[in-house]
Structures are given as C-alpha cells and as structure tokens.
C-alpha cells in the first residue's frame, strides 16, 4: 500500500495537487469481506434488504479506534488531510437519522444523542493526527421525511467547530433512498445543491472562515466552473 501511495503522491505533486483521504464505514449497506452481517446503529435493513447487527458498545469502540488508526495510516502514507464521511446513508449517518436509529441507549432519541457517535469518531481522529493536519467532514441532508435535514447537518458542524475538531466541511445531498439527488444526474440544474449547502455553510460561523466544498453539477450549461451565488461562503 505504501508504495502505491508514494507513486500517487509523486504523480500529483507536479500539478500542485494535494491528496486527502476519505474515511468511511458502509454500515448496513455492505458486509465485511468475510461474509458476515454488516453492522449498523439498529437492526433496520438498507436497500440491500440485509438485516444488520445492532452495534454493541464494544463494536462502537472498535469502529472509533479503527477510524483513528486509519487516520494515523493516512498521515504515515503522506496524505495531506482526511475527510470523515457522515453522509449518504453510511454508518455515521445511521446514528444521526431517526429513520435508522431506534436504539434505547445514550446514542438515540434526542438530537444530542444521535450526534454523539459521529462526534466521538471525529474526536478520535483529531486526537490521532498531528496538530495542523486537516480534518473535515462530509455532511448531506438526505431528502427523506424524518431523516437528516439541513438543521441537523448544521448542528453537527457547529458542534465539531466549537470543539476545534474540523478544518473544513464538504456539503453534499441525498442517500441511497434518494439516489437521483445523490448522483448528480443531468436532469438536475447547475448548482442544484447550493440551496442546502449554502445554508449549512452560512451557519458555520468560524473566525477562521471554515472552507467548504460543494458538489452537484457546479458548472453552468457551457461547462464553466466556479460560479458564485450571493449566499455562498468562501469555498474550495
């Protein structure tokens, strides 16, 4: 792995590029390579129909430690930052959404409780990397009734920012139940995600002016990129 990353980083460098790595757990969407059942916040199946194993505290501790270990490996491999995936119906989003989290412990029920596990993961990642090493999160309203909305994404980012845990926010949209919004089809207008991503970006009030990335056909009909809207914050 280290040899492959070294070649990739070497190929990027002449172009002024830096490589960030996304840290991700599929949750109920895919099982482990050994064929065992997937893990999730609750025993609620995803689009695959497979009923996952509700995570015990020991499982959660293992996942937190694994995120931190993955971040340390990213540093050692020479990548320039990490992004923690809290969106698109993957594991951390399972805990965030009331639609996929029917636990009865401190990780469910209230908004505060449903954000607890993602925050613990980000804390562990931040503690695992050197000072100044960029850590960010991807968030996305899932466009599902009763699920993750702009307000919940915003609250997560604000809490992470208040603790000094993140350096950037990556705004997206949708999950596997709203596939058409997530995969940025040509039926969508240019910048169709700006309404939700702009709202999240405006609410993250850091003196550092946290950069954020946005996606969702961010070019006009002629393929020109980088157009701005008046409600946007500085972005990458």
* Tens of pLDDT, residues 63-77: 999 999 999 999 999
- The residue annotated as part of the active site, out of 5, 90, 133, 192, is 90
pLDDT tens digits along 145-185: 999 999 999 999 999 999 999 999 999 998 988 767 766 66
Task: Return the bridge partners of 39, or none.
Answer: 53
**Structure pTM?**
0.86
The helix (run of H) or strand (run of E) holding residue 138 is: strand 135-139
> 103 Cβ partners below 8 Å, 6+ apart?
41, 42, 54, 109
Alpha helices in the chain (DSSP H): 2-12, 57-77, 91-96, 111-128, 150-162, 179-182, 194-203
Active site residue 176: no
DSSP notation for 180-211: HHHTT-TTSPTTTTHHHHHHHHHH---TT---
> 130 Cβ partners below 8 Å, 6+ apart?
75
């Amino acid at each position: 792995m280290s040899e492959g990353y070294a070649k990739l980083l070497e190929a990027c460098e002449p172009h002024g590029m830096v490589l960030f790595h996304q840290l991700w757990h599929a949750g109920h969407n895919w099982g482990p390579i050994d064929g065992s059942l997937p893990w999730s916040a609750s025993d609620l199946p995803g689009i695959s129909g497979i009923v996952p194993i509700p995570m015990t505290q020991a499982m959660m501790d293992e996942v937190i430690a694994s995120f931190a270990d993955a971040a340390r490996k990213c540093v050692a491999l020479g990548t320039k930052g990490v992004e923690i995936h809290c969106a698109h119906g993957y594991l951390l989003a399972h805990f965030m959404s009331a639609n996929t989290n029917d636990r009865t412990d401190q990780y469910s029920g209230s908004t505060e409780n449903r954000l607890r596990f993602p925050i613990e993961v980000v804390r562990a990642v931040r503690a695992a990397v050197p000072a100044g090493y960029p850590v960010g999160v991807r968030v996305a309203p899932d466009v599902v009734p009763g699920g993750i909305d702009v307000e919940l994404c915003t609250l997560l980012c604000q809490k992470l920012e208040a603790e000094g845990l993140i350096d950037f926010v990556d705004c997206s949209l949708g999950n596997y139940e709203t596939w058409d919004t997530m995969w940025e089809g040509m039926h969508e207008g240019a910048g169709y995600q700006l309404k939700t991503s702009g709202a999240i970006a405006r609410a993250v009030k850091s003196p550092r002016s946290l950069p954020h990335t946005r996606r969702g056909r961010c070019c006009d009909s002629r393929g020109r990129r980088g157009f701005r809207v008046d409600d946007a914050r500085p972005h990458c």
